[in-house]
Amino acid sequence: MNILGRCIAIAAMLFSLVQYAPAQAQDYPTRPVTLIVPWAAGGAVDTLARIIQPKVAERLGKPIIIENRPGGGSTIGATAGAKAPPDGYLLNMPGSGSMAISPAMYKSLPYDSTKDFAPMALVGRVPFVLIVNKDVPVKSIADLVRYAKTNKVNYGSGGAGSPHHLYAELLKSMIGIEMTHIPYKGSNDAIKDVVAGHIQLLFSDTAPSIPLIRNGTVTVLGVSTVGRLPNAPDIVPLNEAGAPGFDAAGWFMVAGSAGTPQPIVDRLHNVFRDVMALPEVQETVNRTGVVPVVSEPPAALAKFIVSEKERWGKIVNQAGLAGTL
């Protein structure tokens, strides 16, 4: 084949590929879609995925298969999502841990959270509440600042690098106090020790702590988000309770792998956004302790990942955890 013939052949091949991608996206999906949940069954992310599963399947016209791949603080599931074929048939639900915190804590990861994913829809945020042992004379952030000047303050967490840990590190840097971190194997054990008075305070998940707040077993200083909890609107945000600008929550999104055709990204964004906006979905999700999110567009999510990675990278560094895994 002469040079001209080769050029024509290459041009024809490229043209066919360009034509094939939009056609493939237009027909999507033609088979079941798998959604990787990088946590064990029964957790908050898994529960939300199963709440929205039938409604997403109905809108796509194909089954949604949920596959749990826990481990490595959700990095195992995130890795599988990053390495998936970019065709929209293997989606993932990475979150703040795997996308913003782990990149700073691990010496190396098999994915880059800002380059290897096609973010589609933010679907949930997980607020925390700051609880204090009821016998400690601290009823506000101002009280905590005064108390910490003359008393040793111990705070618990579900482990080094957990939200309970990093939110406390963020708070102490913002209000200028010293606190000592006491890590536990899980947050339930830390909650028990706050109640027993072995440690003074904890950033706790809302589901196990709100009943303790309601019956007066612990004192609550505020919720970690600038928005109030839908199921406990009387709990004041820390942002309004003496820590201006404080806003922290776990989050998770639906994403494909980088290179997924934009029409598929846009279709999935619209489907997940519309499902999360349904009143019945919002009501059900709110009962789990997760705040449902009606997502911004994919381009805004890409910027969000960059900013969250930078923000929590600084806190991981401050806590002395950078590159420790």
pLDDT digits (tens, 9 = 90+) for 205-237: 999 999 999 999 999 999 999 999 998 999 999
Q: CB neighbours of 242 closer than 8 A, spacing ≥ 6?
A: 140, 141, 142, 144, 145, 175, 222
Reference 291, options 226, 241, 240, 236; nearest CA is 226
Residues of the chain with CATH 3.40.190.150: 33-126+250-318
| Residue 286: pLDDT over 90 | yes
In angstroms, rounded to a whole number, what is the distance separating the alpha carbons of residues 194 and 279?
A: 36
Tell me the residue type at 163: P
Reference 247, options 131, 127, 161; nearest CA is 127
Predicted local distance difference test score (pLDDT) of residue 19:
47
Predicted local distance difference test score (pLDDT) of residue 20:
42
Predicted local distance difference test score (pLDDT) of residue 200:
98
Could you tell me what percent of the chain has a pLDDT over 90? Answer: 90
**Interval 94-105 mean pLDDT:** 97
Residues of the chain with CATH 3.40.190.10: 128-240
Distances (CA, A) of 295 to 36, 41, 130, 300: 19, 24, 27, 9
Annotation: CATH topology of 128-240: D-Maltodextrin-Binding Protein; domain 2 (3.40.190)
| Residue 324: pLDDT over 70 | yes
**Interval 70-75 mean pLDDT:** 94
Query: Residue 2: pLDDT band by 50, 70, 90 thresholds?
Result: low
Residue 119's beta-bridge partner residues? Answer: 255
pLDDT in tens, 230-285: 989 999 999 999 999 999 999 999 999 999 999 999 999 999 999 999 999 999 99
| Residue 5: pLDDT over 60 | no
Predicted local distance difference test score (pLDDT) of residue 3:
57
Question: Strands 218-223 and 64-68: what pairing?
Answer: unpaired
Predicted local distance difference test score (pLDDT) of residue 313:
97
Predicted local distance difference test score (pLDDT) of residue 219:
98
Query: Residue 16: pLDDT band by 50, 70, 90 thresholds?
Result: very low
Helix (H, G, I), strand (E, B) or coil at 291: strand
In angstroms, rounded to a whole number, what is the distance separating the alpha carbons of residues 294 and 277?
A: 6
Predicted local distance difference test score (pLDDT) of residue 197:
97
| Lowest pLDDT segment from 13-17, 142-146, 152-156, 310-314 | 13-17
Is it true that domain 33-126+250-318 has CATH number 3.40.190.150? yes
Predicted local distance difference test score (pLDDT) of residue 154:
98
Tell me the residue type at 73: G
Predicted local distance difference test score (pLDDT) of residue 26:
78
Query: Residue 25: pLDDT band by 50, 70, 90 thresholds?
Result: confident
**Interval 98-111 mean pLDDT:** 97
Query: Residue 17: pLDDT band by 50, 70, 90 thresholds?
Result: very low
Predicted local distance difference test score (pLDDT) of residue 314:
96
Tell me the residue type at 133: N
Within 28-83, residue ranges assigned H as helices are: 44-60, 75-82
Average pLDDT, the chain: 93
Residue 141 in contact with residue 246, Cβ under 8 Å? no
**Interval 133-153 mean pLDDT:** 97
Predicted local distance difference test score (pLDDT) of residue 6:
55
Query: Residue 14: pLDDT band by 50, 70, 90 thresholds?
Result: very low
What percent of the residues of the chain are helix, what percent strand, and what percent coil, each to the nearest 5? 45, 20, 35
Helix axes 262-276, 279-286, angle to 10 degrees: 70
